[in-house]
């Protein structure tokens, strides 16, 4: 598995030489890996007639309980109309509670119910198990590199959202 070769650039700085073939393998790896990444939660969600969109909402509500719809929107990068359908389903199934804001009553603050927390735990345990196994197979140095490449691959605004979330962990 070649990962490119450091060569001297004309300006003197070190440059990474990458063939189109190496890049394409990276692209395909990303595509196939993402399928594995979502496979386990998808199976669990299908049992209870929910989809990946519900998982994402549950994940980030769990991450920041009491978040508003608008805030969740900017994390997920979808339209509010799209998120709304997902949230409605989650509320109807008793997995999420939506409370009118105390100071600003236009806002809705979102929380996982008991049942929502249980589902979240199930989903994220499945996903973490795969991630843990991949990390162990690949080793600690690989993991650091993995993270570095992923962060470099994000779009600038997405990277900002990611960092904000990470920093307040």
Which residues bind to DNA, rule: CB under 7 A? Answer: 49-54, 56, 68-70, 73, 77-89, 98, 101, 104-108
Q: Which is nearer to DNA, 143 or 161 (CB)?
A: 161
Question: Using the rule CB under 8 A, is 101 a contact of its own copies?
Answer: no
Partner in contact with 78, chosen from its own copies, DNA, none, beta carbon below 5 to 8 Å by kind: DNA
Query: Are the beta carbons of 59 and 120 closer than 8 angstroms?
Result: yes
Question: Using the rule CB under 8 A, is 26 a contact of its own copies?
Answer: yes
User: Alpha carbon of 34 to those of 40, 57, 104: distances in Å?
Assistant: 11, 18, 39
Torsion, Cα 44 48 49 53, to 10 degrees, reads -50
CA nearest neighbour of 119 among 153, 87, 93: 93
> What distance in Å separates the CA atoms of residue 112 and residue 125, rounded to the nearest whole number?
17
Question: Using the rule CB under 8 A, is 146 a contact of its own copies?
Answer: yes
Q: Which of 42, 64, 113, 159 binds its own copies (CB under 8 A)?
A: 159
Which residue is it, tokens 């890049």?
A: 23
| Interface with its own copies (CB under 8 A) | 1, 3-6, 15-16, 18, 20-21, 23-37, 39, 56, 77, 124, 127-128, 130-155, 158-159, 161-162, 165-166, 169
């Amino acid at each position: 598995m070649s990962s490119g070769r450091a060569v001297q650039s004309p300006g003197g700085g070190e440059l990474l030489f990458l063939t189109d073939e190496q890049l394409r393998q990276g692209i395909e790896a990303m595509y196939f890996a993402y399928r594995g990444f979502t496979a386990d939660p998808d199976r669990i969600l299908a049992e209870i007639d929910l989809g990946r969109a519900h998982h994402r909402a549950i994940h980030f509500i769990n991450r920041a309980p009491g978040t508003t719809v608008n805030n969740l929107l900017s994390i997920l990068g979808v339209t509010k109309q799209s998120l709304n359908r997902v949230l409605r389903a989650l509320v109807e199934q008793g997995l999420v509670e939506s409370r009118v804001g105390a100071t600003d009553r236009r806002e809705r603050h979102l929380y996982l119910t008991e049942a929502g927390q249980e589902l979240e735990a199930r989903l994220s345990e499945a996903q973490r198990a795969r991630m843990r196994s991949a990390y162990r197979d690949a080793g600690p140095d690989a993991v650091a590199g993995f993270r570095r490449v992923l962060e470099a691959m994000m779009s600038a605004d997405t990277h900002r959202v990611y960092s904000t979330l990470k920093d307040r962990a």
